[in-house]
Structure 1
Amino acid sequence: MAQKRPRTIQIFLPTGDPAGIRIAEQTTSIIRLIEVPRSEMAEFGKMPEAKQVGLYFLIQGDGKDELYVGQSGDVGNRLMQHHKDEKKDWERALVLVSLTNNLTQTHVLYLESLSIEKAKSCQRYELINGNGGQKPHTPIPLKADCDEIHETGSLLLATLGYPIFEPLTEPSKDKAEQTFVCSRAGVDAKGIYTSEGMVVLKGTSAPMTTKRKTQQQFFKRRDELLAKGVIAEQGGRFVFTRDYLFQTPSGASSFLLLASSNGWVDWKSPQGVTLHDHQGRNLESVTEEAL
């Protein structure tokens, strides 16, 4: 995870299309990250970076929750092989290269192995690699360079909307102070509200069925997370096997209740203060300090 400090990130649109190829750089670094839609593979093949040694990430599925990590001495050619394989279901490639073209096969082999390890640890994406990569013998100076490259790459990925290596919650903060609970209709849930949404914590549980009027979409979503192993059925309830991010508090509480819900009201602090009122108090304290 990149250290949280002020940074300047430059994003360049070579075709002028914000949905097309995007190139991200930190102004003080020689690392460049190129986002390539699958539809723009031919355009990427014309770029000089396509001939470089590079690390790449393939994002698969509509929900952007499946990930493949790879590396190559000729990254453009390798991506074309993936593109021609009709069994490969991916929509966007993210390619990490050096502005000075000084990455070696040892660099990217180490970075591939490290990226797979970190992605598994963060559990944001379902990793579909068949193995853990080949971590080569890496001298200490080269390892230090790779760790710095990985940190910069993590920042650039998150800036473009792919926080592959970002923990769901801040490990430095006290979880007890951030935790909210949802306890309606037999739900026994704990969650942490972050800048990305509501993280439902491992061990949270809720009934598999509900007597309330509901829509099929809620059961469909429940079954999807069951199939992925995010939740497991235990004694007529589903239980979260790991922390899981919902984009909104209402999305999280609706999933748990299997029905429409206002998460700003249904999530409460252990003292019974709603998330809405809790956030309001924080805003009031900031306003008072500014006066």
Structure 2
Amino acid sequence: MVLGKQVRLFLVDGTPGGMLTAEIMNWTGHIMAAGRSDLPELLKRDEVKRTGVYLLLGDDPNDSYSNAIYIGEADEVGERLRIHSRSEDKGGKDFWNRAIILTSKDANLTKAHARYLESRFISIAKVAGRSFVTNGTAPVPLPLPEADVSDMEQFIEHARIVLPVLGVDALRAVPTLASLEPASKGSASESPVFEMTVSSEGILARAQETDNEFVVLAESTARSGWVGSTPGYSKLHEVLVSDGVLVPNGSNLAFSKDYVFKSPSAAAAVVAGRATNGRVTWKDPSTGLTYGQWQEHGVEDARSVESGVVSPSLIEQQSNLP
């Protein structure tokens, strides 16, 4: 059974866009987020005087569809942030507009711990591929005892839970096909693997929703160019080609890796090369339900369970059991 997590958020100045802190019950880690304009107030706080890791977040200056991230560590995080706040011609960084600081409530993080976390976070962010990592390479971490490595891996696990709650997806793993397939055999609330075809072009794409993200799976095929009468997602199509997400595959293109889209319609548009309604075009091949119908059935099933009446969709599912 998957257990829930209690994440405690505190809005320091009472506004959703201001500084905030985040913690998980029984975790010694502490996370603080602040916009660049709040840096003067942030630097007055005790948290930034500790050893820790920091993330600088902003838009990728070379790609309007991507985010950028810089990951660093310091004995005193605040001093490093002070340097990064300068303009680039003075040794700072211009791209970032938000900072995330990860420290420990018990102040037990050492320089070696921070170096380990920095190295692992950089590697994780590069593998996830959700943001452009501006760090050149991941530094070699300082040697740690086995018990400390275990503690730091737990720290990373908790951080990867909290950061998406703050809207930071850079360290969030993109599920692979192997991890997604079994979900289609679970409960009605778990997403099946949907398919989309463009028969005239020999295109077949597969996707699944997981953790409220729509993931098109590697080896799915897509149209080689944009043929739609309106721009729509044409720029996104171009970006995925230039970034190597879509690669030549005969007369079409193919996804070189699993890729997360913001919506099923964005995914459908890239696959078809024109604007299309993803709620209709993505279908579950085992039931014939469209993505939209699958969502609607989930709502009806939930209402039926609450009222004690068995819904038609539940009856249909039970009749299909061996």
Instruction: Assess same fold via TM > 0.5.
Output: yes
* Structure 2: segments with no counterpart, 5+ residues: 186-191, 309-322
CA-to-partner distance for each residue in 1:16-51, whole Å, 9 max, x for gaps? 221121111113222111112112111111111111
Q: Could you tell which deviates more after superposition, 104-113 or 34-43?
A: 34-43
Aligned twin of 2:35: 37
Report how far residue 128 of structure 1 moved.
2.4
Question: Quick check: 1:214–1:258 contact (8 Å CA) kept in 2?
Answer: no
Moved over 6 A (4+): none
* Aligned mate of 2:72, from 67, 70, 76: 70
Q: Which residue of 2 aligns with 1:99?
A: 105
Deviations 1:224-266 (A, max 9, x none): 2223232224444332221111121112112222322111110
C-alpha root-mean-square deviation of aligned residues, in Å? 2.3
Give the C-alpha shift of residue 194 in structure 1: 2.5
Partner of 2:182: 174
TM-score, length-scaled by structure 2: 0.81
Q: Which residue number corresponds to residue 224 of structure 1?
A: 239
**1:82 deviation in Å?**
1.6
Cα-to-partner distance string for 1:108-130 (whole Å, 9 max, x where unaligned) = 11111121222233332232221
Amino acid at match of 2:295: Q
More moved, 255-264 vs 93-102:
255-264
State the alpha-carbon separation in 1 of the partners of residues 112 and 39 from structure 2.
Answer: 26
1:40-55 to 2 correspondence within 5 Å? 40-55=38-53
Q: Which amino acid aligns with 1:77?
A: E
Match of residue 54 from structure 2: 56
Cross-structure match for 2:293: 277
In structure 1, how many angstroms separate the alpha carbons of the residues matched to 2:13 and 2:159? 23
What secondary structure, in the 3-state scheme, does the structure 1 residue paired with 2:23 have? strand
1:194 corresponds to which residue? 210
Report what 1:240 is aligned to. Answer: 255
User: In the alignment, does 2:280 pair up with 1:265?
Assistant: yes
Aligned to 1:119: 125
Matched, 1:148 2:154: yes
1:244-259 alignment to 2 at 5 Å?
A: 244-259=259-274
The question of 1:183 aligning with 2:201 is answered no
Secondary structure in 1 matching 2:38: helix
**Residues in 1 aligned to 2:66 and 2:31: alpha-carbon distance in whole angstroms:** 18
Q: Which amino acid aligns with 1:115?
A: F
Q: In structure 2, how many angstroms separate the alpha carbons of the residues matched to 1:95 and 1:64?
A: 22
Structure 1 SS opposite 2:96: coil
The structure that has the greater radius of gyration is: 2
Measure, in 2, the Cα distance between the counterparts of 1:175 and 1:183: 22
Q: Distance in 2 between matches of 1:175 and 1:129?
A: 35
The letter of the residue matching 1:224 is V
The TM-score, its normalising length taken from structure 1, stands at 0.89
Give the secondary structure class of the aligned counterpart of 2:233. Answer: helix
Pair 1:48–1:120, CA change in 2 (3 A): same
Q: In 2, Cα distance between the equivalents of 1:74 and 1:64?
A: 30
Distance 2:303 2:13 in 1: 43
Match for 2:162: what amino acid? L
SS of 2:85's partner is helix
Distance in 2 of aligned mates of 1:4 and 1:35: 28
Unpaired segments of 5 or more residues in structure 1? none
Higher relative contact order, structure no. (Cα contacts within 8 Å, ≥ 6 residues apart)? 1
Q: 1:172 to 1:277 in 2, by over 3 A?
A: closer
The answer for the alignment partner of 2:164 in structure 1 is 158
Tell me by how many angstroms 1:72 deviates.
Answer: 0.7
